[in-house]
């Protein structure tokens, strides 16, 4: 029998606990493996905004039924935020003819309203739940839907934009993740609202 000093056992346990609860992009908690994707953000050459990572992370579900329920809820929330934004946008449009002197001032107001309402967050959340539906439906390439979308991880799309490349015809299918997820869930009896995007 090997005699391991108790100080070594405590040291190893301490390191394990630190790694388990680490929020570092280098280390992931062993409790997260198999529960979400991505776990290691540093695997992507082109990184999304730090604040968006919580919304674009795909959280795994236990069944397609559960995935569709979550997708439906996210879609309903996104539709509500879209309606709220449309109303605010119309008000800004009316005021723009009187109050805004520059295009930059107008765009700043629009972006501020987008942030206040949270439409971008709900759109990203809706997209990540759509990708989970595709994963549950057995799509082997489900990660690519997120990697090619500006609403998902988007690393492959950002690389193409940075290199001034168009999206190849063979990759355009990855832009239809929410539509495909909606069609899948509708076959299971869900009523998924259509909303932006």
Chain centroid offset of residue 5 CA:
46
| Mean pLDDT (10-residue bins), the chain, 197 residues | 59 50 47 85 93 96 98 95 84 65 76 84 96 98 96 93 88 92 97 81
What does the CA dihedral 85, 88, 89, 93 come to, rounded to 10 degrees? Answer: 180
d(C-alpha 52, C-alpha 44), whole Å: 15
| Residue 58 backbone dihedrals phi, psi, to 5 degrees | -85, 120
pLDDT of residue 157: 92
For residue 59, what is the enclosing H or E element? strand 58-59
Structure tokens at 60: 């795994």
Domain extent listing, the chain: 71-197
Q: What pLDDT is recorded for position 108?
A: 81
Alpha carbon distance 76, 67 (integer Å): 14
pLDDT for res 18: 44
Contact in structure between 109 and 100 (CB atoms under 8 Å):
yes
């Amino acid at each position: 029998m090997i005699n391991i000093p108790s100080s070594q056992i405590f040291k190893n346990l301490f390191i394990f606990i630190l790694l388990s609860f680490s929020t570092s992009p280098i280390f992931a908690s062993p409790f997260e493996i198999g529960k979400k994707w991505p776990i290691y953000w540093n695997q992507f050459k082109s990184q999304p905004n730090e604040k968006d990572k919580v919304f674009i992370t795909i959280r795994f579900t236990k069944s397609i039924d559960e995935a569709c329920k979550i997708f439906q809820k996210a879609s309903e929330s996104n539709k509500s935020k879209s309606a709220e934004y449309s109303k605010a946008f119309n008000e800004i449009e009316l005021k723009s003819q009187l109050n805004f002197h520059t295009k930059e001032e107008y765009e700043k107001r629009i972006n501020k309203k987008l942030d206040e309402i949270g439409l971008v967050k709900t759109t990203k959340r809706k997209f990540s739940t759509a990708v989970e539906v595709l994963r549950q439906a057995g799509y082997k390439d489900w990660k690519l839907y997120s990697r090619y979308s500006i609403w998902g991880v988007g690393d492959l799309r950002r690389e193409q934009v940075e290199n001034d490349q168009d999206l190849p015809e063979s990759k355009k299918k990855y832009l239809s993740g929410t539509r495909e997820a909606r069609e899948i869930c509708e076959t299971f009896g869900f009523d998924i609202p259509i909303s932006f995007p």
